[in-house]
Structure 1
């Protein structure tokens, strides 16, 4: 007899103690729960609002086989699930009275959960137009030739520029976030290490960030070049620089997300040595009451 059961906790340390080995077993596909759990542990739950975060694990015979995280005002994040696992989770969360704004996961898992959530709650799912692909670095192949200039780490004098570029990046990917000196520390952009590409006269022209090393893995996030500066190879150069820095920092795996609607960036990352790992999907939900189905 199967004894699968979802166990929920509001304690991120408890979650990582119980699910950490499972999450680290497939760090690429588990990049989001690893990243947000580490971010929550570093900043504290109060940094994310008054609503408590919720984490969950699907356990069988004392072993974790799947996990999720839910943070205030963010989509439910899932590790890859089988359809029956998505169904049992939707039924469990619906019975507990959870109201979800959205779900984010690999496309197959997100679709399975969206269908299950509709069955159990009556909420109507709508997939977002923005679709992204998760890549993992195989062998880094820097551009040849590199554009004139050099890469360098973000300096204090660059902070205002990078905040502005992160704000422009957020707008481009559909994130609703305020980006200024007062709000910066509370955003997901604040805990990254940034590399700039600058021209020979010292003018910054492109930026790439990377998250801290988590579970032996580093996520490259973000890559941004202002529109009027594109087409000169700056994004490829700065992505290669930050990828090299990630490997030098001890990362066994380096991953990044790319917008599938942008063939230029997808082709660029593949030329640099990144290989597709999974397509990602996000479904938004209408505000139907849990248990309505």
Structure 2
């Protein structure tokens, strides 16, 4: 995967594309202008097919707007939560990204728990939603893996767990980032209500070579 956030086809950018020409790049992700510029040159060079994948919106939060009230409280995930987290991470990947093997989901769950970077929302005796932190860089940290099982949706759990995690992260970072699927208006609305503001749109393009 090539990440491209350049916004114009200047000589340096074109030179970088030329250097990649000896490789079969499987896919790219980046800002829409950069991805489209790359796609045009790449198809000229290779005559390959280009298919548009997920359309995403990148958000940024410098503060948290208190979310609508719901029952329950946040807590950091613990080792005993690993079986549940493994199932939720696998379900999240299948629903929002692409399916991952259970072993990979279990490894991700362990990394989140032992780095103390996954927050659960608990209502009564059971967790009902989760959100994780990752990709810290340049004074920021991303919120990811926001997931609520279908039977618990529509009650404000995702909104509250995301707001709680963002509040914790802003104690240590200047701002938080978050990616959403543009085809899911519910999640986009949730995040804007708690203070996330859109920064740019990104696009995934995959290439098929004959």
TM-score for both structures, normalised by structure 1: 0.66
Deviation per residue, 1:2-43 (Å, 9 max, x gap): xxxxxxxxxxxxxxxxxxxxxxxxxxxxxxxxxxxxxxxxxx
SS at match of 1:131: strand
Residue 116 in structure 1 maps to residue 34 in structure 2 = no
Residue 172 in structure 1 maps to residue 95 in structure 2 = yes
RMSD across aligned positions (CA): 1.9
Q: 1:194 aligns with which of 93, 97, 118?
A: 118
* Count of paired positions: 206
Structure with higher strand content:
2
Residue 132 in structure 1 maps to residue 132 in structure 2 = no
Residue 257 in structure 1 maps to residue 158 in structure 2 = no
* Aligned twin of 1:106: 31
- For 1:224 and 1:99, how far apart are their aligned partners in 2? 34
Change in CA separation of 1:212 and 1:261 when aligned onto 2, cut-off 3 Å: closer
Residue 206 in structure 1 maps to residue 129 in structure 2 = yes
Residue 152 in structure 1 maps to residue 70 in structure 2 = no
Q: CA deviation at 1:107?
A: 1.1
* Aligned twin of 1:266: 188
Q: CA deviation at 1:275?
A: 0.3
TM-score for both structures, normalised by structure 2: 0.91
Q: Any stretches of 5+ residues in structure 2 without a counterpart? A: none
Q: Any stretches of 5+ residues in structure 1 without a counterpart? A: 1-74, 289-293
Greater length-normalized contact order (CA 8 Å, ≥ 6 residues apart): 2
* Aligned twin of 1:79: 5
After TM superposition, the structure 1 = structure 2 runs for residues 210-221 of structure 1, keeping only pairs within 5 Å, are 210-211=133-134, 213-221=136-144
- For 2:90 and 2:105, how far apart are their aligned partners in 1? 11
Q: 2:20 aligns with which of 68, 90, 93?
A: 93
Q: CA deviation at 1:189?
A: 8.4
- For 2:86 and 2:118, how far apart are their aligned partners in 1? 11
